[in-house]
Chains A and B, each alone.
Chain A
């Protein structure tokens, strides 16, 4: 007994490690990031900034650390994700620095410096995540813990002392000198929770249940926990008036459910519920109605506010992008400071004004590639949980980019979200670095060559002895 030779006709796709390619791309990404910093200095102050050596060294050190970490901790991970993220982050830093320079002397602020600090924390957490999670499947054990954690994170800003309201949205907590948006962390936890729950229950959701009016309804006990999870997060978000995040969480929920069950019906149901929700929100909440009105007719509310409503931010952004045109005004020659909050939600129009459509398309392509690599990871992943986790993480980047870029370009109503990796915003940056670490972890697991099974000869030698012993025992 032994020695079943597998059919030799079964091809196996063996991925290469590709760390060298990653290094080359990282060097290019650094050229983009540091080059932008130099271009900002040349454009605004007509000289290469003095601190570029220190700044450049710090950026190089961060990315080299990330690269070495990936080499040691996830050697087979996707080679393109880290450089893409590094490029977006470096580019965002330079644009934030440019907006800092344009501020009048009275309100001087060093947002770029703060963002660099957050990036350092982000890269540190990226490395810690890769180190602490050697196998993404261990996260599945924390399915319900992650769900509970997400709810706690969402409730935190509503607590009296630590919660803080900024610009009408109560989504911040005070951590001494800095404030933090726990919703960004909740996003990652919710993805883990959805993926873990659906990996176990997807068959029950897709197959068990009654047929009613031509639609297969899943059993309540399968769907219940999921719906509760989703309702709690949405309720909290509506109470906090955070439209962008509600949209993001809802989209995540529908996409993960669709991918897990392979049922197109979920998209239809999700779409109908979404339409109903939007209608209800428009008629119930004035702040939602304002967003829709300014989206439909932005120029009615500019330059003078109408009925106390102003669309100055949106319109200034549109003017900026229009003035930028194809190749932009050049760093230092635009007026991006006219857009309120240009360094966070409205960084895309600021880039469009100074570098034009050419740069915006390159950036959007980079987001597209990040999402593509995430979905690709999901396809190659060998386990359900890994697939759903990668889909969820990639979807969160895709939805966040769509919601914010769609909002500032007037495609959809404006909802406040940060552009992943580009915008000024510590919590978002840190959470997105963790997302990339998890994606790299899943992709490392799925691209790693299969461990070689013990060879036939070894097995034969080992087993003959055992079989003989068994036979001896039987004969007695």
Chain B
């Protein structure tokens, strides 16, 4: 095989190598700048048209409010409340938890309630029996609002005004 052919093979191969690297770079670039940015309302669903959104907000206005504390509504610790100013609030059976649950189905550090912007989130801290909103076991920090029932073992908590 001639010198020239070998040279061309080598150059062609180096070109393929660099095409791969540049393609990877362009994917990274589009990944950084091409992602959708949506509003957090209703947890990432597309925002409603402005007019309808305003009307809906007005209709809900009397029920709106800012949560100030988290309360245990059901379970052996029912009645316990903790102000949200202590956030992040750890819930569990451990003595270092902000809300200490006397619940055999709760883990030592079971879940955490934290704030991001104006939105409150509940996050499961890798508990054994899980944290539920409604009948859904959460596996991500999940947005909660006033009155959302968060179930941990036999205990139910919610945010209150």
B10 contacts the other chain (Cβ, under 8 Å)?
Answer: yes
Contact status of A80 and B145, CB under 8 A, knowing A449-B44, A460-B63: no
- Report the minimum CB–CB distance from A234 to chain B (whole Å): 30
A31 is an interface residue with CB less than 8 A from chain B: yes
Interface membership of chain A positions 78-93, coded 1 if the CB is closer than 8 angstroms to chain B and 0 otherwise: 0110011001000100
For B67, the chain A residues whose CB sits under 8 A away are: 4
Task: Given A12-B37, A31-B20, A141-B126, answer yes or no on A3-B142 (Cβ-Cβ < 8 Å).
Answer: no
B154 within 8 A of A: no
B-side contacts of A32, CB under 8 Å? 16-17, 20
Query: Which residue of A is nearest B59, CB measured?
Result: A3
Q: A2 is contacted by which of B1, B16, B147 (Cβ under 8 Å)? A: B147
Does B41 touch A at the CB level, under 8 Å? yes
Looking at the assembled complex, report how far the CB atom of B11 sits from the nearest CB atom of chain A, in whole angstroms.
7
Cα-based distance from A11 to B66 in the complex (angstroms): 20
Among A217-225, A328-336, A409-417, the one that faces the other chain is A328-336
Chain A residue numbers with a CB within 8 Å of B81 are none
From B1, B57, B159, name the one whose CB has the most chain A CB atoms within 10 angstroms.
B1
Q: How far is the CB of A436 from the nearest CB of chain B, in Å? A: 14
Determine the distance from Cα of A452 to Cα of B47 in the docked complex, in whole angstroms: 13
**CB < 8 Å: which of B10, B40, B148 contacts A327?**
B10
Contacts of B19 in A (CB 8 A): 28
> B85: CB under 8 A from chain A?
no
A138 to B41, CA, bound (A): 30
The verdict on A262 contacting chain B, using a C-beta distance below 8 Å, is: no
Q: Known contacts A28-B20, A382-B141: does B41 contact A369 (CB below 8 Å)?
A: no
Beta-carbon contact of B17 and A1 below 8 Å: no
Which of A17-25, A105-113, A273-281, A287-295 has 4 or more CB atoms under 8 Å from chain B? Answer: A17-25
Report B-chain residues with C-beta under 8 Å of the C-beta of A87: 20
- Say if the beta carbon of A238 comes within 8 Å of chain B: no
- The total of chain A residues at the interface (CB under 8 A) is 76
- The answer to whether A4 touches B145, judged by C-beta atoms less than 8 angstroms apart, is yes
Cα–Cα, bound, A14→B16 (Å): 32
Name the interface residues of B7-36: CB closer than 8 Å to any CB of A.
7, 9-11, 13-14, 16-21, 23-25, 27-28, 30-31, 34-36
Instruction: Select B27's contact among A25, A333, A382, A451, beta carbons within 8 Å.
Output: A25
Judge if A300 is at the interface, Cβ distance under 8 Å. no
A365 interfacial by beta-carbon distance below 8 Å: yes
Q: Is A383 an interface residue (CB 8 A)?
A: yes
Question: Which of A65-73, A354-362, A390-398, A426-434 is found at the contact surface with chain B?
Answer: A354-362
The answer to whether residues A135 and B64 also contact, given A35-B13, A366-B21, A452-B45 and a CB cut-off of 8 A, is: no
Q: Flag if A36 contacts B13 (CB, 8 Å).
A: yes
Q: How far is the CA of A454 from the CA of B45 in the complex (A)?
A: 11
User: Which of A38-46, A96-104, A342-350 lies at the binding interface?
Assistant: A38-46
Is A115 an interface residue, CB under 8 A from the partner? Answer: no
Whether B36 pairs with A3 at a CB distance below 8 angstroms is no
Which residues from chain B contact A140 at a C-beta distance below 8 Å?
126
CB-based contact A448/B6 at 8 Å: no
Q: Are B35 and A13 in contact (CB under 8 A)?
A: yes
**B40 contacts A355, CB within 8 Å?**
no
Could you list 24 A-B pairs, sorted by A, with CB under 8 Å?
Answer: A2-B63, A2-B146, A2-B147, A5-B64, A6-B41, A6-B118, A11-B38, A11-B40, A12-B44, A13-B35, A14-B36, A14-B44, A25-B27, A32-B17, A35-B13, A43-B6, A83-B24, A330-B6, A330-B7, A331-B9, A366-B24, A369-B21, A452-B42, A453-B142
Nearest first, the 6 A-B pairs at minimum CB distance are: A4-B145, A10-B40, A452-B43, A7-B118, A4-B146, A2-B147
Residues of A within 8 A of B (CB): 1-16, 18, 21, 24-25, 28-29, 31-32, 35-36, 39, 42-43, 46, 79-80, 83-84, 87, 91, 135, 137-138, 140-141, 327-328, 330-333, 355-356, 358-359, 362, 365-366, 369, 372-373, 382-383, 445, 448-456, 459-460, 462-463, 466-467, 470
